[in-house]
Amino acid sequence: MRYPTGRLALQSASLTVQPGELAVILGANGCGKSTMLRIIAGMIKPTGGEVRIAGRDITQLAGRALAEARMALGMVFQQPHLVRRRSVLANVLTGTLGRHRTIYTALGGLPRAEIPHGMGCLKQVGLSHFAQQRATTLSGGQAQRAAIARALAQRPRALLADEPVASLDPEAAEEVMRLLRQLATREGMAVLCVLHQPELARRYADRLLGLRQGVIAFADAPDKVSPAEIDSLYEGFHPA
């Protein structure tokens, strides 16, 4: 992947995430983690290569077809990005809008038929009791779990998480990581997660991917990756 500015952000990086697997990408700032995630999510087009979701190459798609293909991917961001004034359930239901393109939903209506499904998603993340509350009333960890429920409401085959715990305290971070782990193990979801905490990654991931200057440096089970290898990713970034 080369940006129009000429900067080479990612090269010959190839990875596959299996259903039921939680893979974590580690790497220093600017190593190409975000670029990789954005390409996989179809937000930017790579200059070469392909992204297959359930066998279908999304780099060849555009517009509506791309939007539909992207529905197979649930995104979780660094911030929960909830609509703060709406209820938690309403926020979760917005995840289903892609499959309900009607005049009613275009004018702000929520697909009623999806309410049981939305409640199911909230139950999965342990927030059933908060369904009717405004999103502002949630704590940081709860809000991030609600954001995951919104991604689940989309009925994705895979979850992409871009530093999902970066803005959370350690306890809430554990909560969110536990949840992602469960979704992979119990629901058979393929989860690809960018993390800045090697220690969390080690405990929750099935596979660690080290990214250094746009190249995958290692990709292996956590117990086969040495601490030195992980440290080498961040060399030069922590002068102290």
Partner 1 sequence: MNSESTNAVLLGGHLPPLQRRRFGALMTTVTMLGLAVILAQAMVVVKARPQDLITGIHGMADLLSRSVPPDFSSFPSQLWPALETLDIAIFGTLFGVILALPLAALAARNTAPAPVLYHGARAFIAVCRSVPDLVWALLFVTAVGLGPFAGALALTIHSVGMMGRLLAEVIEDMDMGPMEALASTGAGRLQIFSHAVVPTVLPSLMSITLYRLDDNIRSSLVLGFVGAGGIGFQLLTAMSLFDYRTVSLLLIMTFVIVIGAERLSSALRQRVA
Nearer to partner 1, 75 or 219 (CB): 75
Q: What is the largest CA-CA distance in the chain?
A: 58
Contact, 225 vs 231, CB < 8 A?
no
Closest contact distance (angstroms) between CB of 5 and partner 1 is: 22
Closest contact distance (angstroms) between CB of 146 and partner 1 is: 11
Provide the 10 A C-beta neighbour count for residue 70: 19
Closest contact distance (angstroms) between CB of 112 and partner 1 is: 15
Nearer to partner 1, 8 or 43 (CB): 43
Residues that bind partner 1 (CB under 8 A): 41, 43, 67-68, 70-71, 73-75, 77, 79, 81-86, 94-99, 101, 105-108, 147, 150-151, 153-154
Nearer to partner 1, 34 or 96 (CB): 96
Nearer to partner 1, 86 or 117 (CB): 86
Long-range contacts of 120-128 (CB under 8 A, 24+ apart): 121/92, 121/95, 121/149, 121/150, 121/152, 121/153, 122/88, 122/89, 122/92, 122/146, 122/149, 124/149, 124/152, 124/183, 124/187, 125/149, 125/152, 125/179, 126/179, 127/88
Closest contact distance (angstroms) between CB of 220 and partner 1 is: 29
